[in-house]
Amino acid sequence: GNGARVPVLVIGTGYGGSVAALRLAQAGIDVHMVEMGQDWSTVPPGPDGKIHPKVSSPDYRSFWMRTRTKQPLSNFLGFPIDKAVPKYAGILDAEDFAGISVYQGRGVGGGSLVNGGMAVTPKRQNFADILPSVSAEEMYGTYYPRANSALGVSTIDPAWFERTSYYQYSRVGRKHAERSGFDWTFVPAVYDWDYMKAEDNGSVPKSALGQEILYGNNHGKKTLPKTYLAQATATGRVTISALHRATSVRPTAAGGYDVVLEQINTAGDVVATKTVNAGKIFFAAGSVGTSKLLVKMKSTGALPALNGEVGQGWGDNGNIMVGRANHMWDATGDVQSTIPCSGIDNWDAGGAFAEVAPLPAGLETFASFYLAITKSPRRAAFTYNSASGNVDLSWQTSWKQDSITMAKTIFDKINRKEGTIYRTDLFGTNKIWGDHLTYHPLGGAILNKATDNYGRLHGYDGLYVIDGALIPGNTSVNPFVTITALAERNIERIIAADL
Contact residues toward ligand FAD (CB under 6 A) are 11-16, 34-37, 103-106, 110-111, 114-118, 214, 245-246, 284-287, 289, 293, 439-440, 467-468, 478-480, 483
Cβ pair 121, 189 in contact under 8 A? no
- Rounded distance between C-alpha atoms, residue 365 and residue 385, angstroms: 44
Half-sphere exposure of 35 (CA within 13 A, CB side): 27
Helices 144-151 and 480-498 sit at what angle, rounded to 10 degrees?
110
338 vs 368, beta carbon nearer ligand FAD = 338
C-beta of 288 vs 335, nearer to ligand FAD:
288
Selected catalytic residue, list 355, 418, 488, 492 = 355
391 within 8 A of 152, measured Cβ to Cβ: no
CB of 224 to ligand FAD, least distance (A): 8
The answer to whether 453 and 133 have CB atoms below 8 angstroms apart is yes
Residue 6 backbone phi and psi in degrees, to 5: -130, 145
Smallest distance, ligand FAD to C-beta of residue 366, A: 24
- Residue 108 vs 367, nearer CB to ligand FAD: 108
Provide the minimum distance between the beta carbon of 88 and ligand FAD in the complex, in angstroms, as a whole number. Answer: 14
Collapse the DSSP code of 337 into the 3-class scheme (helix H, G, I; strand E, B; otherwise coil) and give the result.
Answer: coil
- CB 420, min distance to ligand FAD, A: 26
Cβ neighbours of residue 247 closer than 8 Å, sequence gap 6 or more: 260, 261, 262, 293
Angle at 453 between CA 448 and CA 454, to 5 degrees: 130
Q: Which is nearer to ligand FAD, 123 or 415 (CB)?
A: 123
- The answer to whether the CB of 339 falls within 8 A of the CB of 117 is yes
- Which one-letter DSSP state was computed for residue 220? S
CB 463 within 8 A of CB 11: no
**CA angle, residues 379, 295, 238, in degrees to nearest 5:** 105
Beta-carbon contacts of 70 under 8 Å, excluding residues fewer than 6 positions away, are 63, 82, 94, 101
Q: Which is nearer to ligand FAD, 15 or 166 (CB)?
A: 15
Comparing CB distances to ligand FAD, the nearer of 105 and 333 is: 105
Q: Which amino acid is at 217?
A: N
Provide the 8-state DSSP code for 154: B
Smallest separation (angstroms) from ligand FAD to the CB of 260: 10
Shortest separation between residue 418's beta carbon and ligand FAD, angstroms? 26
Active site annotation includes 309:
no
HSE at residue 154, side-chain half, CA atoms within 13 A, is 13
In the annotation, is 219 catalytic? no
Nearer to ligand FAD, 282 or 433 (CB): 282
Torsion of CA 346, 349, 350, 352, to 10 degrees: 30
Residues β-bridged to residue 191: 221
Backbone φ/ψ region at 462: left (φ over 0), alpha (ψ -120 to 50), beta: left
Rounded to a whole number of angstroms, the minimum distance from the CB of residue 481 to ligand FAD is 6
Catalytic residue among 35, 440, 488, 492: 440
Q: In whole angstroms, how close is the CB of 115 to ligand FAD at the nearest point?
A: 3
Cβ neighbours of residue 252 under 8 Å, at least 6 residues apart?
A: 258, 277
Q: Name which of 166 and 366 has its Cβ closer to ligand FAD.
A: 166
The set of catalytic residues is 355, 440
